[in-house]
Amino acid sequence: MLKQFLNLKLSQKLSPQQIQLMKLIQLPTQAFEQRLKEEMNENPALEAGKEEEELYEKDEFDNNDEFDDYEDNESIGAEEINIDEYLSNDETPDYKTQSNNYSDDDEDRESPLTAPISFHQDLINQLNTFILNDEEREIAEFLVGSIDDMGYIRRSIADIVDDMAFTQAIYTDEKKVEKMLYIIHELEPSGVGARDLQECLLLQLKHKTPTEYIALAIDIIENQFDAFTKKHYDKLLQKYNVSNEQLKKAIHEIEKLNPKPGGSFTGNNKITENVVPDFAIRIVDGNLELTLNGRNAPSLHVSKDYQEMMQTYKDSRDKSNAQKDAVQFIKQKLDSAKWFIDAIRQRQETLFVTMNAIMHFQQEFFLEGDETKMKPMILKDIADMVGLDISTVSRVANSKYVETPYGTKLIKEFFSEAMKNDQGEDVSTLEIKKILKNTIEEEDKHKPLPDDQLAEILKEKGYPIARRTIAKYREQLDIPVARMRKKM
């Protein structure tokens, strides 16, 4: 049975302009520049650079009603548009009063690009030095194609035989594939084509000049690999009846090997991320000075040609339907251009005030560079300081970098939770992690400290932390357990 009733509900709806502004705030410098190019390509009424004369007034940016109209501009008739709102004789538009601290000398600075040979192509080129028949070459090239970026073939011979038959119509057997795998194992870098870490290390050791210690290392990897990986050195000493020094030298030979031979290829075509700092913090006369990367503050203006078209329409006596359609299109583009310019200004202000608050909150760290001076800081702390929403602060922190006297850092690294020390004071978890890392670095590697002893040491230093918390922080710092840190 159908029923009809009224329901009163209060909900918050973001306008398209607000959504676009949030997206702009989230973009780091390089992505922002790309977004800027896209907008200029899509909107001919938006131009970069500085004109001698501009025909719009900054006050139009603050006309929120205009944004509301823009959402439904398809329903606005040309006769309803107030042309005078788009025309002005202001000689000093707002953009001319903005400073840009991005040097013109740097605008066209580009890193030279190379066209390196890929890892797999290099292996194919090496195969050309071997005398192979057509069938053998097809199998060898298929094996090369099965090597991952780490340099491993992580598939069984039987799977490779089946795959070649189904996908390449190459019918062979495991014996022939095994034979070609030996050829692959002769390629450089040494260890490439291994099916697991044990085989990878063995291949590299067997390519070395034979010595007493290399022979011992080969035997250890071949027959005592499990004891080696678990660092049961006492068992190895007993098994091989060698001195502590002999075992130490053999293990040193193993430690020099590369467990990821594919990653060592200098021509690997992996993309290296080029981080462009969004801010710079410098110490000037003992005070902190914050600057926003000028590439985030481009000079933009509304096209003079488009506004002259509006003037032409205004002066025209005979307003045809075609002209009315044209002025409707021009109005949309002008509105969009003015909004985008204002959105960029709001983006600049949001970025600057947020980073400025972070800088002052962590002033002690930025002045001294000591990570133990980092204060506990959460998103809400900064949001309350600048009067912005927590989500806005998060967008700034998660994707922006700041250049400091101590290196370029991701802003979100300055945020951390608080813990109490033995005096009841709030300390940052970053400070505790730094002290934990230093403690582990200073330990005797012959007898590394287990987590319960690390907890006792930090407790003595004034940080009462449970053993499970030590384990969590150690894992976050990518530090292995005590047994795996042991050295001969």
Enumerate domains of the chain plus CATH numbers: 17-92+271-415 (no CATH), 119-264 (no CATH), 418-488 (1.10.10.60)
Note the pLDDT of residue 402. Answer: 92
- CB under 8 Å to 266, separation ≥6 — which residues? 116
Instruction: Give dist(CA 427, CA 312) in Å, integer.
Output: 66
Summarised one tens digit per residue, pLDDT across range 288-338 is 999 998 887 777 777 777 777 766 766 666 667 777 777 778 788 888 888
How deeply is 41 buried, as exposed, middle or buried, from its count of CB atoms within 10 A (0-12, 13-18, 19+)? Answer: exposed
Note the pLDDT of residue 205. Answer: 93
Summarised one tens digit per residue, pLDDT across range 125-178 is 999 889 889 889 999 999 998 999 889 999 889 999 998 888 888 888 999 999
Identify the residue with better confidence: 486 or 353.
Answer: 353
Work out the mean pLDDT of the chain and round it to a whole number.
79
Give the pair of three-digit tokens for residue 224. Answer: 């005592």
Grade residue 109 by pLDDT with cuts at 50, 70 and 90: very low
Note the pLDDT of residue 64. Answer: 40
Q: What is the pTM of this model?
A: 0.55
Note the pLDDT of residue 76. Answer: 41
Q: Give the residue among 346, 345, 326 at the shortest CA–CA distance from 45.
A: 326
Summarised one tens digit per residue, pLDDT across range 423-466 is 777 777 888 888 898 899 888 888 888 899 898 998 888 888 88
What are the φ/ψ torsions at residue 427 (nearest 5 degrees)? Answer: -125, 155
Note the pLDDT of residue 271. Answer: 47
Q: Which residues of 79-103 are buried (b: 16+ CB within 10 A; e: fewer)?
A: eebebebbebeeeebbbeeeeeebe
Instruction: Give dist(CA 142, CA 1) in Å, integer.
Output: 66
Note the pLDDT of residue 79. Answer: 47
What are the φ/ψ torsions at residue 416 (nearest 5 degrees)? Answer: -160, 160
Asked whether the beta carbons of 400 and 293 are under 8 A apart, the reply is: no
Question: To the nearest whole percent, how much of the chain has pLDDT over 70?
Answer: 78
Instruction: Give dist(CA 19, CA 39) in Å, integer.
Output: 15
Summarised one tens digit per residue, pLDDT across range 48-99 is 766 544 444 434 334 444 334 434 444 344 444 554 555 444 444 444 444 4
Give the pair of three-digit tokens for residue 43. Answer: 């909107």
Give the pair of three-digit tokens for residue 243. Answer: 């001195």
* Cα 374 → chain centroid: 23
Name all contacts of 152-159 with Cβ < 8 Å and 24+ positions apart: 152/193, 152/194, 152/195, 152/196, 152/200, 152/262, 153/181, 153/184, 153/193, 153/194, 153/195, 154/195, 155/195, 156/195, 157/181
Residues 387, 392, 394, 397, Cα dihedral to 10°: -90
Grade residue 403 by pLDDT with cuts at 50, 70 and 90: very high
Asked whether the beta carbons of 220 and 250 are under 8 A apart, the reply is: yes
- CB under 8 Å to 377, separation ≥6 — which residues? 358, 361, 362, 414, 415, 416, 428
